[in-house]
Amino acid sequence: MFTYAPVFLYDNPNNFLSYFFGLAIIIILSDFQLNYKPFKILLIILTLFFFSVVSDSKFGKIAVFLLFLSFIINNIMHINATTFKKYFWWFAVVFISLLFCFTSKSLYFGPMWGNEEHYYVKSINPVKIENNQVVFYSSDTLVKHFGEKNIARSLFDYQMQNTMYSNEIRVNLLKNGFYLFKKSMLFGIGPGQYCWYHEHKLVPYPTITVTSPHDGLMEILSQYGLPIFIPYIFIF
């Protein structure tokens, strides 16, 4: 279930974390002094970990785990036994914290600290017709009889009946891109046409209401074809 958390001007939390991770990697690679200050690198990783949880970004959680894993491997290769024993518990605490992130439920960092089922269920307003009038009830009535988890799960399943998961949509966007690329005889369908084909349902794979490619390379390949795509790859 999606938990809304404001991430400045990025509507998609994965976009927000992508730029954040890019900035962190640039800092780590450009500052050679950081190689001798592992705890500063660890602080950067923990910061990324925090914002990954806050924004509920799947990309962020996976990327921070891989970054932490590479950090551990790199330091084990360059650390002696005495130093390793000295900092072992620090590494253990960080590892357990990351493990907890992947095994626990997402948290909403808002006015109240609670699990996402709590905020999800609070958005429900049961309705009943009495004496030809619409009467609204609090969601607490449902919670009392069925529990937050059951209500949230049932509502989520109902909402997902006529929709798709984001990863399914992204895969179909790529498939449609290749379809349009082949349809254009490898020369591209033209600027802005990717969205047009999707808006008019002229593509074989469903993407619900999403019409943009969500992938820069696919956007260039499908709309401008090989004559533009190949030079672009070599230049950039």
CA dist., res. 61 & res. 80, Å (int): 30
Cα–Cα dist 57/5, whole Å: 10
Q: What is the pLDDT of residue 12?
A: 66
Write down the pLDDT at residue 7: 46
The answer to whether the predicted template modeling score (pTM) of the entire model surpasses 0.85 is no
Of 167, 159, 157, 181, nearest to 210 by C-alpha is 167
At which residue do the structure tokens 């349809």 appear? 183
* Domain presence at residue 222: yes
One domain, residues 90 and 172: no
**pLDDT (0 to 100) of residue 180:** 96
The answer to whether 121 and 148 are in contact (CB under 8 A) is: yes
pLDDT score of 82: 64
**pLDDT at position 144:** 83
61 lies in the same domain as 149: no
The per-residue pLDDT for 111 is 44
**Pair 71, 151 in one domain:** no
Residues 136 and 99 in one domain: no
Answer whether residue 93 is part of any domain: yes
pLDDT of residue 77: 63
Does residue 47 lie in a domain region?
yes
Q: Is residue 7 part of a domain?
A: no
Instruction: Please give the tally of structural domains in the chain.
Output: 3
**Which pLDDT score is estimated for 35?**
61
54 and 84 in a common domain: yes
CB 64: neighbour CB atoms within 10 A?
A: 26
pLDDT of residue 32: 64
If asked whether residues 92 and 25 sit together in one domain, one would say yes
pLDDT of residue 110: 47
Identity of the amino acid at 131: N
Please indicate, yes or no, if residue 130 is contained in any of the structural domains.
yes
At residue 140, the pLDDT reads 82
105 and 156 share a domain? no
- All residue ranges of the chain with pLDDT < 70 are 1-12, 32-36, 76-87, 98, 101-120, 236
Domain hosting 140: range is 119-161
Residue 114, in any domain of the structure:
no
Instruction: Specify whether 95 is located in the same domain as 147.
Output: no
Same domain, 222 and 176: yes
pLDDT recorded at residue 176: 96
Q: What is the pLDDT of residue 228?
A: 92
Please state the length of the chain: 236
- Is residue 4 one of the residues assigned to a domain? no
What is the CB neighbour count within 10 angstroms for residue 57? 27
For residue 109, list its beta bridge partners.
Answer: 113
